[in-house]
Amino acid sequence: MRKKVTVVGAGNVGANCALRIAGKELADVVLVDIVEGVPQGKGLDILQSGPVEGYDVNIVGSNDYGPTANSDIVVITAGFPRKPGMSRDDLLLANYEIVKAATEQAVKHSPNSILILVTNPLDAMCWTAFQVSKFSKNRVIGMAGVLDTARFRTFIAQELEVSVENVTAMVLGGHGDTMVPLARLTSVSGIPLSELMDQATIDRLVDRARNGGAEIVKYLKTGSAYYAPSSAAVEMVESILKDKKKVLPCAAYLEGEYGIKGLFVGVPVKLGARGIEKIFQLRLSADEQAALQKSAAAVQELVDVMKAKMG
């Protein structure tokens, strides 16, 4: 029996998720979008790459959730993208409605699925999906840290002219301007970053990673990043479907870990067949803890806005 993944939203992120899942032969894919013809057309196009690329998976597009029944994972990418000058938070209430509707349908058709959220503002959308789905906390996961660390690792590798594969990094906190890249836990083949570059360089790269999404939005003008975000989401999908138990930074529901309660915040987790199988608690310095609390406070503000809306 092949695995099945539903991708909600057939825009740039969603379509690239579908393409990468097919390319790795991880699962059959159902691409869902409200725009008539778009998921069907993109699904058929990806399907027709199969003979050339050498993958045997089925890909269908749909405007309703019927074909998604019994999905193992539902990846929610649907939502309005950021435009230049917009913060992720400007998107909040518009995307709240979209994620709420998508979650309701996902739960109805795939009650045993694991939800992976990609829609921004990410940590707040995870909270929405968690509330609406009533799923256990291990089955609602946000994609942010994998992307943020990928950006950080890219900039470090470029700076040092080394392979990105040798760079490991850790980023905590909310997805956005308050993320907390942990430079002291970042290394190149085990060599601490502090032995390879001075503090000013580290600070510059941290800052660039933090604004990595905004930098791309500025160039594109009419949309936001999608190649790296889809790669990051698919790394999570793969770790779950293959029960790889990769340790990845993801947005997880915290119940007192790191002194944070009732919020989704980016932390290192073990991703396996059951979703989040363990949350790793790192010993943080006072500065790191303060930065993480600030990040959590920013997430709390968004959640409070949505709670008021839900009344």
Q: Where are the beta strands (DSSP E) in 96-195?
A: 114-117, 140-142, 167-168, 171-172, 180-181, 187-188, 191-192
Residue from 95, 130, 163, 126 nearest 309 by CA? 95
Cα–Cα dist 110/68, whole Å: 7
Cα–Cα dist 10/29, whole Å: 12
Compute the residue count for the chain.
311
Q: Among 4, 175, 210, 270, which one carries the catalytic annotation?
A: 175
Cα–Cα dist 63/229, whole Å: 23
Beta bridge partners of 29: 5, 59
Contact yes or no for 50/28 (Cβ under 8 A): no
The terminus-to-terminus CA distance of the chain in angstroms comes to 43
**Which residues, including other chains, have CB under 8 Å from residue 207's CB and lie 6 or more apart?**
none
Catalytic, 109? Answer no
**Where in the sequence numbering do the catalytic residues fall?**
175
